[in-house]
Amino acid sequence: MELREFAEQVLFATTLEEKLRTPDALTDEHPGPALIAPAAPGRPANLQFKPHATGKSVFPGLHRLEETTERGKLLHFFGNHELLATELMALVLLKFPGAPPAFRKGVFETLKDEQEHTRLYMQRMAVCGVQLGDFPVSGYFWRCVSPMEHPIDYVAGLCLTFEQANLDFAGHYGNRFATVGDTDSASLLQKIYRDEIGHVAYGLKWFRRWKNPGESDWDAFCRTLKFPLSPQRAKGFTLNIAGRKAAGLDEHFISQLNVYSQSKGRTPSVFVFNAFSEGRIGEGKKFNPTKHQAQLAHDLENLPQFLCRQDDIVLVNHKPGMEFLSGIKQAGFPLPEFADASDLTRLQTRKLGALRPWAWGPDSFDLLKPLFASVNGEQRADKSRFNQKIAQLYSKAWSADFLRRILAGRAGSPLPAAATSITEWRGKGCAPYLCGENEVGAAVHSLSEALAAVAKIRSRGHHPIVVKESFGVAGSNALRLFEPEILPNQLRWMENAFFNRRELVVEPWLERLADFSVQLEMSERGLKLCGFTGLMADSRGQFVANFAEPHHHKRIPAKIISLFKMQADVSGLLLKFYHRLFARLETELQAVDFTGPLGIDAFVYRDTDGTPKLKPVVEINPRYTMGRVLVELMRQVSQNSYGAFQLVNVAQLRAGGLEDFSAYAGSLSQRWPLQMEGRPNPRIRSGAICLNDPATAKACLAVLKVSPTSEIITDKPTSLSSLT
Task: Dump pLDDT digits (tens) for 221-256.
Answer: 999 999 889 999 999 988 999 999 999 999 999 999
Three-state DSSP class for 484? coil
Give the helix/strand (H/E) hosting 579: helix 570-591
117-130 b/e (C-beta count within 10 Å ≥ 16 → b)? bbebbbebbeebeb
Among 229, 259, 289, where does a domain finish? 259
First to last CA, the chain: 72
Task: Average the pLDDT over 661-684 and give the result.
Answer: 92
Of the candidate ranges 44-53, 548-557, 586-595, 692-701, the one whose mean pLDDT is the lowest = 44-53
SS (H, E, C) 5-38: HHHHHHHHCCCHHHHCCCCCCCECCCCCCCCCCC
Task: Average the pLDDT over 123-129 and give the result.
Answer: 96
Is 300 inside a domain boundary?
A: yes
What is the pLDDT, as a whole number, of residue 155?
97
Among 354, 384, 414, where does a domain finish? 384
Check whether 712 has a pLDDT greater than 80. Answer: no
Higher per-residue confidence, 500 vs 635: 635
What is the pLDDT, as a whole number, of residue 713?
47
Distance CA 518, CA 600 (A): 5
Distance CA 485, CA 463 (A): 10
Distance CA 452, CA 266 (A): 57
What is the pLDDT, as a whole number, of residue 723?
39
pLDDT band at 328 (very low <50, low <70, confident <90, very high): very high
What is the pLDDT, as a whole number, of residue 621?
95
**Helix intervals (H) in 211-333:** 217-224, 241-247, 251-259, 277-283, 291-299, 322-330
What is the pLDDT, as a whole number, of residue 219?
94
pLDDT band at 55 (very low <50, low <70, confident <90, very high): low
Give the CATH number of the domain where residue 126 resides.
1.20.1260
What is the pLDDT, as a whole number, of residue 682?
93
DSSP sequence for 498-562: HHTT--EEEEE--EEEEEEEEEEEEETTEEEEEEEEEEEE-TTS-EEEEEE-TTTTTS--HHHHT
Task: Average the pLDDT over 387-409 and give the result.
Answer: 92
Across the chain, what does the average pLDDT equal? 89
**What pairing do the DSSP bridges indicate for beta strands 700-707 and 683-690?**
antiparallel
pLDDT band at 721 (very low <50, low <70, confident <90, very high): very low
Of the candidate ranges 204-218, 398-412, 617-631, the one whose mean pLDDT is the lowest = 398-412
Is 197 inside a domain boundary?
A: yes
Task: Average the pLDDT over 705-724 and give the result.
Answer: 61
Task: Average the pLDDT over 440-461 and give the result.
Answer: 94
Distance CA 350, CA 333 (A): 25
Among 384, 402, 419, where does a domain finish? 384
What is the pLDDT, as a whole number, of residue 556?
94
Verify that 695 and 650 share a domain, yes or no.
yes
Is 724 inside a domain boundary?
A: yes
Check whether 423 has a pLDDT greater than 60. Answer: no
| Angle between helix 101-127 and 3-12 (nearest 10) | 40
Task: Average the pLDDT over 340-354 and give the result.
Answer: 86
Verify that 218 and 287 share a domain, yes or no.
no
What is the pLDDT, as a whole number, of residue 416?
44
Check whether 133 has a pLDDT greater than 50. Answer: yes
| Angle between helix 217-224 and 183-210 (nearest 10) | 100
Is 461 inside a domain boundary?
A: no
What is the pLDDT, as a whole number, of residue 51?
86
Verify that 100 and 196 share a domain, yes or no.
yes
> How many domains does the structure of the chain reveal?
3
Distance CA 135, CA 138 (A): 10
pLDDT band at 431 (very low <50, low <70, confident <90, very high): confident
Check whether 426 has a pLDDT greater than 60. Answer: no
pLDDT band at 694 (very low <50, low <70, confident <90, very high): very high
- Domain extent, residue 682, equals 637-724
Verify that 70 and 213 share a domain, yes or no.
yes
pLDDT band at 532 (very low <50, low <70, confident <90, very high): very high
Check whether 537 has a pLDDT greater than 80. Answer: no
pLDDT for 296-323, tens place per residue? 999 999 999 999 998 899 999 999 999 9
Q: How far is CA 76 from CA 79, 83, 120, 172, 573, in A?
A: 5, 11, 11, 17, 58
pLDDT for 173-226, tens place per residue? 999 999 999 999 999 999 999 999 999 999 999 999 999 999 999 999 999 999
**Helix intervals (H) in 277-410:** 277-283, 291-299, 322-330, 344-347, 362-368, 388-391, 396-408
Of 335, 342, 333, nearest to 314 by C-alpha is: 335
Verify that 133 and 171 share a domain, yes or no.
yes
